[in-house]
Amino acid sequence: AQSVTQLGSHVSVSEGALVLLRCNYSSSVPPYLFWYVQYPNQGLQLLLKYTSAATLVKGINGFEAEFKKSETSFHLTKPSAHMSDAAEYFCAVSSNSGGSNYKLTFGKGTLLTVNP
Amino acid sequence: DTAVSQTPKYLVTQMGNDKSIKCEQNLGHDTMYWYKQDSKKFLKIMFSYNNKELIINETVPNRFSPKSPDKAHLNLHINSLELGDSAVYFCASSQEGGLARETQYFGPGTRLLVL
């Protein structure tokens, strides 16, 4: 079964500092990986996704992630944190649930706080 | 225009009651999903429908019954509500549902509190 593990349930950075949110995956087949963001009391919004086209994926709001097969990782980064980046971030893998049906299996989430 | 909408946004009810949550998407997608997010923010899929047909049914108590009157709507009915049902329920949709690389679009969530 495919799964993702997010290291660190809470990451705190200063405004302007580098953001690094870690995600490792477990998959017996080439994975499709996603990062979603959830702002307080809102739904989930796609930041970016890896679909095997390029290992470095650029997303919205200045975020990017690099797929590293050798490390089974898909870490999310942003060079300079902004106060508005404070949110819960979820890594997810698309896994087959039978036939040609797919579901998202999420990590436990990482809460990012940005200090002024 | 809201792509995926849910009603109600908040739902407070007593144990043992029956309640429904509605979801509508105006994206023209074929597949819709229900996810449950618990108090620790863990998200887990419950059901998925493709063109009104149930295609994913995770290990969910049969007190939960999804219904899809058409491919733009997916409702969730919960019988005999229990304290453990308190959670945020998210509806989502995707264009086809048969592709691993598809993006799922989420609604704003329904916050259910069972007292």
pLDDT single digits (tens) A33-69? 999 999 988 899 999 999 887 899 999 999 999 999 9
Kindly report the backbone phi and psi dihedral angles of residue A9, in degrees, each rounded to the nearest multiple of 5, phi listed first: -80, -20
Nearest-CA distance from A109 to chain B in Å? 7
Strands (E), chain B: 4-7, 10-13, 19-25, 31-37, 43-50, 53-57, 64-70, 73-78, 87-94, 105-106, 110-114
Cβ <8 Å between B99 and A102: yes
Report the candidate in A5, A28, A78, A25 with the shortest Cα–Cα distance to residue A48. A78
Retrieve residue B5's tokens: 């909408």
Q: Region A70-99: what's the mean pLDDT?
A: 93
Task: Tell me how far apart the alpha carbons of residues B97 and B104 are, in angstroms, rounded to a whole number.
Answer: 9
Unique residue bearing structure tokens 């690389």:
B101
- Residue among B7, B10, B34, B43 with most chain A CBs within 10 A, to mutate: B43
A13-22, A24-33, A104-113, B27-36: least confidently modelled range? A24-33
Nearest-CA distance from A81 to chain B in Å? 23
Taking 3-state DSSP, the helix, strand and coil percentages for chain A, each rounded to the nearest 5, stand at 5, 55, 40
What integer pLDDT is reported at residue A101 of this predicted model? 79
Cβ <8 Å between A94 and B101: yes
Cβ <8 Å between A103 and B33: yes
Cβ <8 Å between A101 and B100: no
Sign of CA dihedral B43, B44, B47, B49: positive
CB atoms within 10 A of CB A106: 23
Query: What are the beta bridge partners of residue A49?
Result: A34
Per-residue pLDDT 10s for chain B (115 aa) are: 669 999 999 999 999 999 999 999 999 999 999 999 999 999 999 999 988 888 888 878 999 999 999 999 999 999 999 999 999 999 999 988 777 788 999 999 999 999 9
Report the candidate in A106, A38, A32, A98 with the shortest Cα–Cα distance to residue A65. A32
Task: Work out the pLDDT band at A108, boundaries 50, 70, 90.
Answer: very high
Task: Work out the pLDDT band at A30, boundaries 50, 70, 90.
Answer: confident
What integer pLDDT is reported at residue B1 of this predicted model? 62
| Residue A41 three-state SS | coil
